[in-house]
Amino acid sequence: LSPSIIPTAFLGTATVFACFSLSALYARRRSFLYLGGFLLSGLTLMLLSSVVNAFVGSTWLFTANLYLGLMIMCGFVLFDTQLIIEKAESGDKDYIWHCVDLFLDFVNIFREILMILGMTE
């Protein structure tokens, strides 16, 4: 693997994260909060396909799971950003856990992009 993959993945993650966070900040209030159920259903689908792929060993299914995971994690950035805004406006000022939510989104996007870039090399 090329050592340039890590900075490339980090810059890509920062760009994706910033774009989705800004779009959630400037969108209409509560417009992305409906995504929660779809995102959790997508995570369940990813879990099931990973279990199936453990027995099947399909490269196509692994790749599809990577790209699906990237889309779901981008959706979580939208969802979590608007959820944090709504929580803060209703009085929940727990900044530490709000940061942890967004940090986990960032790490998951970084992991997905890193795996995608690693596969292409």
The model's confidence at residue 68, banded by pLDDT at 50, 70 and 90, is: very high
Residue 121 has pLDDT above 80, yes or no: no
Number of domains making up the chain: 1
Residue 104 has pLDDT above 90, yes or no: yes
Residue type (1 letter), 104: L
Domain that holds residue 49: 5-120
Token pair of 52, please? 């199936």
- Helix 59-89 crosses helix 95-120 at what angle (to 10 degrees)? 160
Dihedral Cα 121, 63, 13, 43, nearest 10 deg: -160
- Per residue in 8-37, pLDDT (tens digit) is 999 999 999 999 999 999 999 889 999 999
pLDDT of residue 2: 87
